[in-house]
Structure 1
């Protein structure tokens, strides 16, 4: 009953954030019409779109490292091509649809179980991959927020003026995790679940791979921004990470609305119209989210057709 109430509260909270975000976006765009946004989208040079597509391919290639490290962590072997296929499809679906513990986990279980991986091992890989995702966010955002802190807009109404305190907290969490990897050798039992700290090399590899994932994800959007955007990549990276953190915490699929709200607050001004920024964000969503999802859906369909054909063949051989 308690779990059901928590799930309902999380869903309602996410829905509320979505509504507020859409309202904020609408207020930013009230002086523009949809043609302004489409014109801004069409104005993005093809060379920049090409860069964004190649960077997306590289980002999804890096994501395969999550599952490869996960299998190394549990001392289980599986061919890289199977891990790559599973990770790409699960990442594409969970990134776009959201609810990674449901979408990505279900796909991982479907594929890995068919290849003889036990349910316990799959659960460990899933937990490891999801934890790794956050390590990179904390590491990159922590450094950027401390070294080059953003000034938080007054509209956000937070108790601090810059994101530096958030960066300090993130870096402390990373330091605690690394110390745990060095000092804690015995497994920990939390709520009947056994947790074993990875070795220091694996922990460092987690942080490196996930950090590169976040850096590349931001790099996909950066060339799509209006050409007169007066931001270096490092300045933009801090804004991107803050927007993505808000989007992920909101539990809304892909951070839809929440991410756009943060980006509009920081990027649009007298020189750069909100319509131009939103055109860039639409291109980003199309390239980084929907294009991989389309490819993943095709691969999933091919896999299911071949899997069912193989099962029917085996059944016919028996009879």
Structure 2
């Protein structure tokens, strides 16, 4: 009963954030019409879109490292092509649909269990991948927020004027994790579940892989922004991480609305809202929906082959 109430509250909270974010976007763009947005979208050079596609492909390739490192962490072996297929499909679905612990986990269980990986091992890989995802965010954002503090829009009503305090918190969390990997050798029991810190070497690789993932994801959107915008990549990376952090925490699918709201609030003083929205649409199309289409096709092919193999085995009996 309590779990159902928590799920309903989480869903209601996410929907509320989505509604508020869409209202904020509509309010920000009320002076533009859809033709402005379509014209700005058409004005994005094909070479920039091509760069965005290649950066997306590289980003999803880097994400495979989450699961490969996860299997190394639990001392299990599985062929890289199987890990790559599973990670790509789960990443594409969870990135776009949201609720990564449900969507991505379900796909990982579906694939890895069919290849003989135990439920406990799969759960450990999933937990490891999620930890890795956040470690990169905290490491990159922590350094950027501390060294190049971004001003937080007053419309967000946060208790900080800049992101520097958030950066300090992020870096402290990363430092605690690294110290734990050095000092704590015995497993910890958290809510009845056993948690073992990885080695210091694996922890550093976790941070490196995830940091590169976040850097590439931001580069995809930066590639389709107007070329005349006076904004360096490092400055934009800080904005992207703040917006993405809010979007991920919101649990709204793909951070839809929440992410766009923050990007619009910060960049609207540099370029028109219609132009920003067209770049965001291009970004979502390239980074989210294109991989999702490929992943859906691969998932369909896998299921067809699996059913065909099962049918042949039944026919032989």
Check if 1:292 corresponds to 2:291: yes
**Distance of 1:93 and 1:17 partners within structure 2:** 21
C-alpha distance in 1 between matches for 2:272 and 2:282: 16
Q: SS in structure 1 opposite 2:44?
A: coil
Matching residue of 2:189 = 189
Q: Which residue of 2 aligns with 1:177?
A: 177
> Who is 2:282 aligned against?
283
* Structure 2 partner of 1:86: 86
Deviation of 1:101 after TM superposition, in Å, equals 0.8
Deviation of 1:165 after TM superposition, in Å, equals: 0.0
Tell me which residue corresponds to 1:63.
Answer: 63
Q: Does 1:212 align with 2:181?
A: no
1:115-161 Cα distance to aligned partner (Å, 9 max, x none): 01011111110111011100000000000000101011111111111
Corresponding residue of 2:11: 11
- Cα distance in 1, alignment partners of residues 23 and 175 from structure 2: 39
What's the counterpart of residue 41 of structure 2? 41
Equivalent position SS for 1:309: helix
In structure 2, what is the equivalent of residue 165 of structure 1?
165
Provide the residue aligned with 2:254 in structure 1. Answer: 254
| Consecutive unaligned residues in structure 1, runs of 5 or more | none
Deviating 4+ runs (over 3 angstroms): none
1:9 deviation in Å? 1.2
Cα deviation 1:86-105 (Å, max 9, x = unaligned)? 00000000000011111111
Question: Residue in 2 aligned with 1:140?
Answer: 140
Corresponding residue for 1:303?
Answer: 302
Q: Aligned with 1:284: secondary structure?
A: helix
- Matched position secondary structure for 1:189: strand
| Counterpart in the other structure of 2:243 | 243
- Counterpart CA distance in 1 for 2:169 and 2:233 is 23
> Which whole-Å CA distance do the structure 1 matches of 2:280 and 2:83 have between them?
30
- Compute the displacement of 1:282 (Å): 0.0
CA positional deviation for 1:224:
0.5
SS of 1:194's equivalent?
strand
Aligned to 1:314: 313
Gaps of 5+ in 2: none
Q: What is aligned with 1:233?
A: 233
**Cα separation, 1, equivalents of 2:309 and 2:60:** 29
Counterpart-to-counterpart distance in 1, 2:135 and 2:91: 17
Cα distance between partner residues in 1 of 2:176 and 2:117: 31
Deviation at 1:312, TM superposition (A): 0.7
- RMSD across aligned positions (CA): 0.7
CA distance in 1, matches of 2:156, 2:247: 14
Once the two structures are superposed, residues 172-225 of structure 1 have per-residue CA deviations (whole angstroms, 9 ceiling, x without a partner) of 000000000000000011111000000001111110000000000000010101
Alpha-carbon distance in 2 for matches of 1:83, 1:131: 18
Name the structure 1 match of 2:121: 121
2:111 aligned residue? 111
TM-score normalised per structure 2: 0.99
User: How many pairs does the alignment contain?
Assistant: 317
TM-score normalised to structure 1 length: 0.98
Structure 2 distance, partners of 1:302, 1:154, is 49
* SS state at 1:272 partner: coil
